[in-house]
Amino acid sequence: MKKITLVDQINLNEVYSWLQDPAAGGINLFIGNVRNHAQGKAVVKLEFEGYKPMALREMEKLAAAAMEKWPIKKLLMVHALGSKQIGEPVVVIGTATAHRKDAFEASRFLIDELKNKVPIWKKEYFADQTVWVNAHP
Amino acid sequence: MKKITLVDQINLNEVYSWLQDPAAGGINLFIGNVRNHAQGKAVVKLEFEGYKPMALREMEKLAAAAMEKWPIKKLLMVHALGSKQIGEPVVVIGTATAHRKDAFEASRFLIDELKNKVPIWKKEYFADQTVWVNAHP
Amino acid sequence: MEVLLFGISKELMGQQVLSLPVDSKIANVLELKRWILNQYPEMGNLNSFAIAVDQEYADDETPVSGNQEIALIPPVSGG
Amino acid sequence: MEVLLFGISKELMGQQVLSLPVDSKIANVLELKRWILNQYPEMGNLNSFAIAVDQEYADDETPVSGNQEIALIPPVSGG
């Protein structure tokens, strides 16, 4: 079973409830937060923009690839869009599997691939400038 | 910063709040649940017994080893003791790091080592018998 | 033909959607990328950019036409 | 000398704490393990068991005495 969404705000209680599965011995959750610094400078806030329909399609493809590779009971990918303050969760990857090894490997695969392929863009706001992350060499 | 406890019941909200760190970009949580089957048979409930002072010492040692190996902002290990129903969390490992790779690796190390070394014992209750897990070949 | 813009491309090119002139005669992704770099040389400073056709990453040989949903994908940075 | 028991050992040996006779003359962990296996042969069916001295895993050569906290650690299965 999988759940893939783009939201304004991530609710971690809902995430955990949804991942519960009596047949799953292990749940791995990766939560990406807004860090308070980047390249040694203070980040004031972040903004995420997404090409929503394509982002959802790419996330669905990654989920399908993971479910083919690992025996996953439940898989969840949620990304927040819009303006985010320091410490707010911006992305959650969750997998529930019978054996913990699979949950660790699948979550790691999903967040790594999400960061490579899903058309979502992060803009960091520093006190003196803004930067679109990864855009320039 | 680390937090290591043995509890009657795990509260995941507290766990996540405690792991929040403005300098951490990634949080990895591993949650071990009571599975509804083992060796192909239905598990009714579990019971965990611990040699508490030694279990805490062993968990502290693992935490110290992980903090030496990876740059960890926050590290949490919580194990529940006593009687647990299907689906209840029995162990939570959480790490908050600046970079996600470290969080995945450290959490994986901590749960693997916890299962090898920490003096806690699991008794599975099936309909027709009880089994101390790992005790016999 | 129209091209959807996101993130830094939207800012660099100063618009939400890029409209290509009718006589631009662009037949595939490679020609579209060249046209963009020619008209907006500052796009050459990016690490790279991709083109998506109907919400799928497309390679240089993929044909493009006005009937498709075409988007310019600058380096992604989600997560 | 007393030995704390847990999990399956507590059940197999039918007590919470094992009290060794005063004349048992056990000087180290190896001798303690042998004494246990001799008195409680069913313990030989376990995968293995360890001895902890003052809440630390102890190897066979570690000396043991009545002044220490000694525990029998059957195969662990937390998590």
Residue pLDDT, tens place only, B96-127: 999 999 999 999 999 999 999 999 999 999 99
| Residue B50, Cβ density class (10 Å: 0-12 exposed, 13-18 middle, ≥19 buried) | buried
What pLDDT does residue B75 have? Answer: 98
Find out whether D29 and D60 touch, Cβ atoms under 8 Å.
yes
- Taking contacts as CB-CB distances below 8 angstroms, the residues of chain A near B31 are 16, 26-29
The per-residue pLDDT for C71 is: 98
Closest CA to A69 of A19, A117, A107, A31: A107
DSSP D63: B
DSSP C28: B
Chains D and B touching, counted as 3 or more CB pairs less than 8 Å apart: yes
Q: Under CATH, what is the fold of the domain A2-132?
A: Aldehyde Oxidoreductase; domain 3 (3.90.1170)
Average pLDDT over residues A42-68: 97
Quick check: do D and C touch, 3+ CB pairs under 8 A?
A: no
**Of B31, B89, B95, B90, which is closest to residue B63 (Cα–Cα)?**
B95
Distance in angstroms between the alpha carbons of the first and the last residue of chain D: 31
- Grade residue A39 by pLDDT with cuts at 50, 70 and 90: confident
Q: How far is CA C79 from CA A32, A77, A119, in A?
A: 6, 11, 11
Q: To the nearest whole number, what is the mean pLDDT of chain A?
A: 94
Chain B residue with Cα closest to D55: B54
Domain boundaries of chain D, sorted by first residue: 2-73
Quick check: helix, strand or coil at residue D52? strand
CB B92 within 8 A of CB B17: no
Chain D adjacent subunits, 3+ CB pairs under 8 A: B
pLDDT for D61 equals 97
Which class is domain C2-73? alpha beta
* Domains of chain A by residue range: 2-132
- Chain C nearest-CA residue for A122: C77
Enter the tokens of residue B5. 């406890």
Parts of chain D with a pLDDT under 50: none
> Of all residues in chain B, what percent carry a pLDDT higher than 70?
100
CB C71 within 8 A of CB C51: yes
Q: Token pair of A133, please?
A: 């992350």
Q: Is B116 helix (H, G, I), strand (E, B) or coil?
A: helix
Question: How many C-beta atoms lie closer than 10 Å to residue B35's C-beta?
Answer: 20
Mean pLDDT for chain B overall = 94
Give dist(CA B43, CA C53) in Å, integer. 51
pLDDT digits (tens, 9 = 90+) for C11-52: 999 999 999 988 888 999 999 999 999 999 999 999 999 999
**Is A24 in a helix, a strand, or coil?**
coil
Quick: pLDDT tens for A103-125: 999 999 999 999 999 999 999 99
Nearest to B79 among D47, D74, D78 (CB): D78
Min Cα distance B104 → chain A (Å) is 7
Contacting subunits of A (3+ beta carbon pairs below 8 A): B, C
Q: Is the minimum CB–CB distance between B88 and chain A shorter than 8 Å?
A: no
Rounded Cα distance between C26 and C32, Å, is 6
